[in-house]
């Protein structure tokens, strides 16, 4: 029992998972565990997602704040917010596939995200090289 504020990163493990996320609506069923104490919290979840374009496994990592400890079995529905995508990208004909498969130009507003991912992967590659 408790409450938490959480930021998620959903890892689309393979092409099947990306294809599932390209659906305008998909469902998921999964399990996870999480803990948060004050400003530090972590959660890891794995789930199977299914939509009209197939199914695939996803992993979710999250950072949270609050007071919470739990293990869960979860199900949810995820819908694309086309109005939000229109405001962000400015293209009324843009599809989820265009966004997820990279056929649209990287938006300027996402540059901090791309820079952070580049730094993360650079650090991971250095660690793998050092330990290999």
Q: Is the dihedral of CA 48, 116, 125, 130 positive or negative?
A: negative
Q: Is the dihedral of CA 73, 97, 18, 61 positive or negative?
A: negative
CB atoms within 10 A of CB 73: 9
Q: pLDDT value at position 5?
A: 61
Residue 123 lies in a domain: no
User: Quick one: pLDDT band at residue 112, thresholds 50, 70, 90?
Assistant: very high
Q: How far apart are CA 101 and CA 18, in angstroms?
A: 8
Q: pLDDT for 59-106, tens place per residue?
A: 777 777 777 777 878 787 878 888 999 999 999 999 988 988 889 988
Q: pLDDT value at position 86?
A: 92
Q: Where are the alpha helices (DSSP H) in the chain?
A: 15-21, 82-89, 96-100, 111-131
pTM: 0.60
User: Quick one: pLDDT band at residue 111, thresholds 50, 70, 90?
Assistant: very high
Residue 89 lies in a domain: yes
Please count the structural domains in the chain. 1
Q: pLDDT value at position 115?
A: 92
Q: pLDDT for 2-61, tens place per residue?
A: 555 666 777 887 888 888 878 888 787 888 777 777 777 777 777 777 777 777 778 777
Q: How far apart are CA 110 and CA 121, in angstroms?
A: 17
Residue 120 lies in a domain: no
Residue 68 lies in a domain: yes
Residue 73 lies in a domain: yes
Residue 121 lies in a domain: no
Residue 15 lies in a domain: yes
- Give the DSSP per-residue string, 93-123: T--HHHHHTT-SPPPGGGHHHHHHHHHHHHH
Residue 119 lies in a domain: no
Q: pLDDT value at position 129?
A: 64
The whole domain housing 79 covers 3-105
């Amino acid at each position: 029992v408790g409450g938490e504020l959480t930021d998620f990163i959903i890892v689309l493990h393979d092409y099947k998972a990306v294809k599932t996320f390209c659906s305008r609506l998909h469902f998921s069923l999964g399990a996870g565990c999480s803990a948060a104490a004050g400003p530090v919290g972590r959660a890891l979840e794995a789930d199977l997602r299914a939509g009209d374009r197939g199914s695939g496994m996803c992993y979710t990592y999250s950072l949270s704040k609050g007071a919470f400890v739990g293990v869960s079995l979860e199900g949810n529905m995820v819908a694309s917010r086309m109005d939000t995508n229109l405001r962000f990208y400015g293209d009324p004909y843009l599809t989820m596939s265009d966004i997820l498969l990279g056929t649209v130009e990287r938006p300027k507003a996402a540059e901090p995200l791309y820079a952070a991912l580049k730094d993360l992967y650079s650090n991971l590659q250095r660690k793998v090289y050092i330990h290999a």
